[in-house]
Amino acid sequence: MTKPIRMAGGVAGAMAGLALLAPGLTAPSPAQAGGSPAYIDQMADRLPASAGTNWADVGQYGTSNRARQVQIGENSAAILQIGAGNLTDQYQSGSANRARAQQSGAGNVITLVQDGSGHDAAGRQDGYENRIRQIQYGIANRAIAVQDGSSNSAIQLQDGSDNLSAVAQTGRGNSARTAQYGTRNATTVEQSGGDGIEVVQRGANNSVESQQTILQNGVRITQTGAGAAIKVATR
């Protein structure tokens, strides 16, 4: 049995570790094993012939895991699930988008939607009943989410170009919501222990960095314009 890839070092460690989930993931054969169905739908024919091909890979170990991949254009996607009752949905439309998901445990859910070109999204969850939702529109946005524990939730929305959203959460009951509209906005969030943060950025070159390590903190940040920077540390 393939062991899950474990990562440490907060957001920086997550960004480095999730690179290991790049295309090249080896799936079991057949993709459906242990009562875990995998559904892959590739529709390159809906775009011009020059659009190229899609690449999809699914590996599932355990029971009652479900994986669904829909690709339109020229994209790549990889899913690795270990445990029971995990669900990953990946939808890609456009070109050169890359999606990677890894889950171990039970009852975890990752939903990823990419529409445009050059997006990169990666999610990794280890534990129980965690949720990641990543939605990307535009060009060359990056979203990274790593969750260890239970009942954590991360929602990342990006609409524009060259935006970065990175979330790392450990413990139980953390919630992070980030929304970025514009160009080259950056958000990094690290939380442990029942924290909550909501970030909205509109414009260009805005940045938010937040670290929370005490129970029941709550932060809401809204930035509109260009070049604004906020750093939050709650301990």
What span, in angstroms and rounded, lies between the C-alpha atoms of 208 and 199? 8
**3-class state of residue 222 by DSSP:** strand
Record the tokens describing residue 155, joined without a space: 């929602």
Question: Residue 197 sits in which domain range?
Answer: 61-233
In a domain, 45, yes or no: no
In a domain? residue 135: yes
Q: Tell me, yes or no, whether 44 lies in a domain.
A: no
Residue by residue, pLDDT tens for the chain (235 residues) are 333 333 344 445 444 444 444 333 333 334 444 567 887 777 755 544 444 578 889 999 999 999 999 999 999 999 999 999 999 999 999 999 999 999 999 999 999 999 999 999 999 999 999 999 999 999 999 999 999 999 999 999 999 999 999 999 999 999 999 999 999 999 999 988 777 888 888 888 888 887 766 555 567 677 676 666 666 655 5
Rounded distance, CA 214 to CA 146, Å? 19
Where does the chain show beta strands of DSSP type E?
38-42, 55-63, 66-84, 87-106, 109-117, 120-128, 131-139, 142-150, 153-161, 164-172, 175-183, 186-192, 196-204, 207-212, 218-226, 229-234
Task: Round to whole Å and give the CA distance between 143 and 207.
Answer: 14
- Tell me if 24 is assigned to some domain: no
Phi-psi region of 234 (alpha: psi -120 to 50; beta: other; left: phi over 0): beta
Which conformational region is residue 225 in: left (phi greater than 0), alpha (psi within -120 to 50 degrees), or beta? left
Does residue 162 fall inside a structural domain?
yes
Residue 6 DSSP label: P
Residue 105 counted as domain residue = yes
At 155 the three-state DSSP class reads: strand
Q: Please report whether residue 22 resides in a domain.
A: no
| Residue 90 domain flag | yes
Name the CA radius of gyration of the chain, rounded.
17
Q: Which helix (H) or strand (E) holds 49?
A: none
Place of tokens 């960095």: 209
Q: What is the pLDDT of residue 209?
A: 84
Helix (H) or strand (E) holding 14: helix 10-17
Please, are residues 85 and 107 in contact by the beta-carbon 8 Å criterion?
yes
Count the domains in the chain.
Answer: 1
